[in-house]
Structure 1
């Protein structure tokens, strides 16, 4: 009798077995059962048997710690929601600045990372001290919206974001692969949080509409007590889900990066052509210069996240050339912005805003140069892709240092 078992036919062909499994897992498992019964001593089939029937050993101790971590996350989410609502109350009374809402979320995400990956006591004390100093200092500033104080408010999220990164890294804060993992975490966090937030907004819209049908207007109450609480708590829950290595976010993120990079490149080229065509001048138009810098920050963010999701294989692909082109355009934009701000400084004098914009542009320009040179060496086959990722991860503390300078010195100097 002729044997038509495809698994047996491909038992010496690993690629063939993998192809059969991907084409029809159900038929593969059926043929595999027969093949493994006939060839129980085959090491190849033994590996496939473990792959098909593997179940993670679940010990009571492990279940306990997983449950404990989940409960701790839930407690932090509730505390984040309550803290945010309390802070919002004082913001409404105009006794504190709205930027304080960041302290209703980010310290709790940092606390979850500290619990999940306990650092040395020195790192923990340093982290707590910086959160306390930044919170106290921020609220010692006059509640006036002068240029220097607004700049401190704008740079505070960057500083706190890097503190959360320190909590994420734990004892490995100097490790480039850990910094890269934190950047990937942020991309996955943003996508998952946005998806959940959209669902929450739909629920809020339906809820308010249902209550309006019976003559009750609950918009103010619902936003202040439900939406605000939920948005803060959801941030902690999302951090937990992403850090648990959610497969959906992990698999979607690289594709999102690959899709958005070329779209941003095409859009940016069209926008720059339109700028030239219409004769827009960032040297004389202050508002346009700010928009120009906003575009620069957006391109930098897209490029960095695309690089972090590019993988560590040695093969070049179209995405690398797209990223390289994006970096080139970003350098052009940054160079124009630097020239414009230098022109405004020499023509109209020194102000906190101009110094801050100049500093940001210099910091970004240096990072872009480093990334571009690393990419150039990679495209010429002189180095691997890890050098590009190093240009991103090793430079992250510089952004934090500049943010700290603006936050802690500008309000005092100006």
Structure 2
């Protein structure tokens, strides 16, 4: 598809231009420059030029908006820190499960997105009800280390992460580009949070050493009242900075994706050859099967991160072929893992752990097939990059539904 020609051809068709922009905003913007250069007299393109490149001239209004956003961020950051500290107190008393700590951060992130992009009432009510019901349900479970309850603890954050995604996308939750923006946000958020967290760890080490010089050990107090509160508040600060279009994370993320993907591919190929050589068997070795699944999730995460952060242009590059190789590798790993899980189920019977692992592996396998087929058609010039992005974004709610199913039903089924 030649987007440049399409923009020029549809200058008199505003509906088609709007559709093209909503489907692929980044590609549209890149292609627009050529169309505008060729047709500077076009009134329709002049309107689009102002829409794409308009710069705010009323500085007082912009400053006021930034001040308002900063204030809301500050309040939510303090609130997240205080809530997390209160929850940790009850965790210390063994009154509630440690997983409750996520309720100090994720709801505040959701509130930040809702405040800055207020959605319709049905979205708002869904978010509020889901968080409240999840919190009540989690704390109705017994504090036993049963497999079904531990699985609920593991899957709850995934479900809540999808809810934060709903808050992020707001009324556009059904649009692929909005979901893709949420995935990009996560990549940039992790980079920025990690960068600031490393600085925080250095400050913590320095502070505790300074107090040791005067014979005081403040490690426990500092962790409870500074590190814990600071980490929770930092998540909201990172959310604000990424949302405000911080250039640092946005500029670094694509390069990390391009550098990290080939390194992961090479490392995993060497690892798989090595474990095959030494005769490790995921069918019989349970711990190795778990590590195999860990590798699978890592490859899937790296692949999605690479797709969303590197971007996919009409012109194919080496990164596209590396992504495709990673997808094939993940599919091979998942197929082996699925075979081993089915073997263990048929040989040793059904348990909550085996059923949960089987379910998530089946979901990942289907998602990888979809992404692989989309990428294959893209590399063969049969489709555009939108098909690959759809394969990634449209599948996200299914992971959330599975996480909700495990969280809310497994403790009841395997009681």
User: Shared fold by TM > 0.5?
Assistant: yes
CA distance in 2, matches of 1:278, 1:90: 47
User: Cα distance, 1:228 vs. partner?
Assistant: 0.2
The 8 Å contact of residues 187 and 305 in structure 2, kept in 1 or not, is answered as yes
CA distance in 1, matches of 2:366, 2:248: 35
Counterpart of 2:30 in structure 1 is none
1:271-327 deviations in Å (ceiling 9; x for gaps): 000110110001011111111000000000000011112324201000011011111
Find out whether 1:395 has 2:395 as its counterpart.
yes
User: Cα distance, 1:55 vs. partner?
Assistant: 7.4
Counterpart of 1:141 in structure 2 is 141
Find out whether 1:166 has 2:161 as its counterpart.
no
User: Cα distance, 1:56 vs. partner?
Assistant: 4.2
Cα distance change on mapping 1:409 and 1:73 into 2, 3 Å: same
User: Cα distance, 1:411 vs. partner?
Assistant: 0.3
User: Cα distance, 1:63 vs. partner?
Assistant: 2.3
Which deviates more from structure 2 when the two are superposed, residues 305-314 or residues 131-140?
Answer: 305-314
CA distance in 1, matches of 2:90, 2:184: 35
Counterpart of 1:299 in structure 2 is 299
User: Cα distance, 1:64 vs. partner?
Assistant: 2.0
CA distance in 2, matches of 1:311, 1:289: 33
Instruction: Give SS of 2:310's match.
Output: coil
Aligned pairs for 1:327-338 (under 5 A) are: 327-338=327-338
Aligned pairs for 1:76-95 (under 5 A) are: 76-95=76-95
Which deviates more from structure 2 when the two are superposed, residues 307-316 or residues 376-385?
Answer: 307-316
Counterpart of 1:27 in structure 2 is none
1:311-360 deviations in Å (ceiling 9; x for gaps): 24201000011011111110010000000000000000000000000000
Which deviates more from structure 2 when the two are superposed, residues 158-167 or residues 64-73?
Answer: 64-73
User: Cα distance, 1:367 vs. partner?
Assistant: 0.1
Counterpart of 1:281 in structure 2 is 281
The 8 Å contact of residues 105 and 232 in structure 2, kept in 1 or not, is answered as yes
CA distance in 1, matches of 2:209, 2:309: 41
User: Cα distance, 1:386 vs. partner?
Assistant: 1.3
Counterpart of 1:359 in structure 2 is 359
* Structure 2 unaligned regions, length at least 5: 1-40, 42-49
Counterpart of 1:210 in structure 2 is 210
Find out whether 1:339 has 2:339 as its counterpart.
yes
Instruction: Give SS of 2:283's match.
Output: coil
Which deviates more from structure 2 when the two are superposed, residues 152-161 or residues 59-68?
Answer: 59-68
CA distance in 1, matches of 2:64, 2:118: 18
Cα distance change on mapping 1:55 and 1:307 into 2, 3 Å: closer
Query: In angstroms, what is the RMSD of aligned CA positions?
Result: 1.6
User: Cα distance, 1:110 vs. partner?
Assistant: 0.4
User: Cα distance, 1:145 vs. partner?
Assistant: 1.0
Counterpart of 1:222 in structure 2 is 222
Counterpart of 2:123 in structure 1 is 123
CA distance in 2, matches of 1:398, 1:173: 14
Counterpart of 2:319 in structure 1 is 319
TM-score, normalised to structure 2, is 0.86
CA distance in 1, matches of 2:188, 2:310: 14
User: Cα distance, 1:370 vs. partner?
Assistant: 0.2
Cα distance change on mapping 1:312 and 1:321 into 2, 3 Å: closer
CA distance in 2, matches of 1:379, 1:161: 32
Number of matched pairs: 365
The 8 Å contact of residues 162 and 400 in structure 2, kept in 1 or not, is answered as yes
CA distance in 1, matches of 2:208, 2:95: 30
Instruction: Give SS of 1:309's match.
Output: helix
- Structure having the higher Rg: 1
Counterpart of 2:63 in structure 1 is 63
Counterpart of 1:186 in structure 2 is 186
1:240-278 deviations in Å (ceiling 9; x for gaps): 000001011111111100100000000000000011011
Counterpart of 1:100 in structure 2 is 100
TM-score, normalised to structure 1, is 0.86
